[in-house]
Structure 1
Amino acid sequence: MRHKILLVDDDPDIVELLAFLVGRLGMVALPAQDPSGALALFDAERPDLGIIDLGLGAWSGFDLVRDLRARSDMPIIVLTARNSDDDKVRCLESGADDYIAKPFSHRELVARIRAHLRRNRSIYHDPADQAILRAGPLLMNVAQHSAEKEGRSLDLTATEFRLLHYLMNRASTVVPTAAILKEVWGHDDAAGREVLRVTVYRLRRKLEEDPTSPQLLHTVPGVGVMLRSEVA
């Protein structure tokens, strides 16, 4: 069955370009130029992946991403000309899995589409996977897609959950950045490393009492990330 890709941009030329790239991959393009059209297409076609431009004229791309995420766990890639850390955090907190800065490389976008579709098929088929994971004060129920710290429920996005799941399976081990990107996002490139940095920052704010002095989630510069199974 051919993958269906939802394409949302208020610029018809960009939508046409995206549809051309998707068509060359043998996939079905579902183009829309505003949130109402995008949501109607989503409900009718149930796409496998969404590519959303944050700049939708009078409409908010953040709100559209949030509405789509409430409907589905499909991968969402955001196209954005906004490069501040605040915008990146807001983008991912809205529910996006990934973002690509404009102007974007056609080759990079195609690689991301393939990677996210591949990752979505294989998610949680980890040979080290367990139904219940524990690491220090953290508890994760994979089947119920829930996580908690010392009995307090953690409000995690789908991407944060995947990252925490991967790290809990490898607790107290420094996991190389390249391995995390390949397994959690499906690709490893410079832009992906920035997405990982922002996602770790967001996850740390949810796990730590004091994110500026982390006890659980540690970044080892130039190497990777470690989730400690014991807290001092």
Structure 2
Amino acid sequence: MTHVLLVEDDTRIRQALGLALGDEGFRVTGAASGEEALAQLERAQLENAEPDVVLLDLMLPGIDGLQVCRTLRAQGDLPIIIISARSDTTDVIDGLEAGADDYVTKPLIAGELAARIRALLRRRRPAERPEPDADELQAGPVVIRPAEGVVRRDGVDVHLTRTEFRLLAELAAARGRIVSREDLLARVWGYDYFGDTRLLDVHVRRLRRKIESNPDEPELVLTVRGAGYKIGRSPDA
């Protein structure tokens, strides 16, 4: 059974959402603060019983959700979905920049949230090959091995989250062709965001910081204004 750690300081929301996700087939553990969540996760690591995904409210007492997110991302690629009170603030962007994989906004709908959790966890499975014969993909000095989940730049391993890896693999598999934002959202995230591309654009920025020699002047992951993204300097270009 999928184990969800729900970090939410509002007792009523935490209990109600825990019951609703339980009805969706998840096992939910609650934490009322960032400190409690980090302590639970530390114990879980020692017991080899980490949750499968963390639902993280940004507005927490003490250590806020952004700091918790940064701490968890620095430790590994545990899937993180942030919870934001409003979708029209910088909270969403800040949370994604801190390392979250996805976001949801309040009021929370259990069925939608469950679908996003399942889509996120599918990305934790061994990487699917973007092409049947794509044992190795390349973008300039970056080599991607989809079946192994490995990325190297100039022979040095590059650590990507599962989401970043799938995004890079999808672009590399297109071999220089433009991939629309809508197609990337569908292929990487697995569901429709109804035109909200902040999630994708922030992940592209994070990916560039890891693989580009100069993220401010990208040569590998290129923006095609009004169309989408493409890989530059591919061997077949």
TM-score (ref. length: structure 1): 0.80
Question: What percentage of aligned pairs have identical amino acids?
Answer: 38
Determine the structure 2 residue equivalent to 1:92. Answer: 96
Distance 1:227 1:5, change over 3 A: same
**SS of residue matched to 1:55:** coil
Determine the structure 2 residue equivalent to 1:35. Answer: 34
Is 2:5 the counterpart of 1:6?
Answer: yes
CA positional deviation for 1:205: 4.7
Distance 1:115 1:158, change over 3 A: closer
Determine the structure 2 residue equivalent to 1:209. Answer: 214
**In 2, Cα distance between equivalents of 1:164 and 1:196:** 12
Mark the runs of 5 or more structure 1 residues left unpaired by the alignment: none
Q: Verify the 8 A CA contact 1:100 1:191 in the aligned structure 2.
A: no
Aligned positions of 1:148-167 closer than 5 A: 148=153, 150=154, 156-167=160-171
CA positional deviation for 1:152: 6.9
Is 2:144 the counterpart of 1:145?
Answer: no
Determine the structure 1 residue equivalent to 2:188. Answer: 184
Determine the structure 2 residue equivalent to 1:198. Answer: 202
Distance 1:136 1:191, change over 3 A: same
**In 2, Cα distance between equivalents of 1:229 and 1:165:** 15
Determine the structure 2 residue equivalent to 1:21. Answer: 20
Q: 2:119 aligns with which of 115, 119, 141?
A: 115
Amino acid at match of 1:13: R
TM-score (ref. length: structure 2): 0.78
Q: Verify the 8 A CA contact 1:52 1:78 in the aligned structure 2.
A: yes
Q: Verify the 8 A CA contact 1:176 1:224 in the aligned structure 2.
A: yes
Amino acid at match of 2:152: A
Determine the structure 2 residue equivalent to 1:126. Answer: 129
Amino acid at match of 1:163: L
Q: Verify the 8 A CA contact 1:95 1:158 in the aligned structure 2.
A: no
Between Structure 1 and Structure 2, how many residues are aligned? Answer: 228
**In 1, Cα distance between equivalents of 2:57 and 2:194:** 21
Superposition CA RMSD, Å = 3.1
Moved more, 70-79 or 55-64: 70-79
CA positional deviation for 1:156: 4.2
Q: 2:231 aligns with which of 224, 227, 230?
A: 227
Aligned positions of 1:75-86 closer than 5 A: 75-81=79-85
Deviations 1:108-157 (A, max 9, x none): 32321221123333x41225274543112323355363432x56765644
**SS of residue matched to 1:120:** coil
Q: Verify the 8 A CA contact 2:175 2:234 in the aligned structure 1.
A: no
Mark the runs of 5 or more structure 2 residues left unpaired by the alignment: none
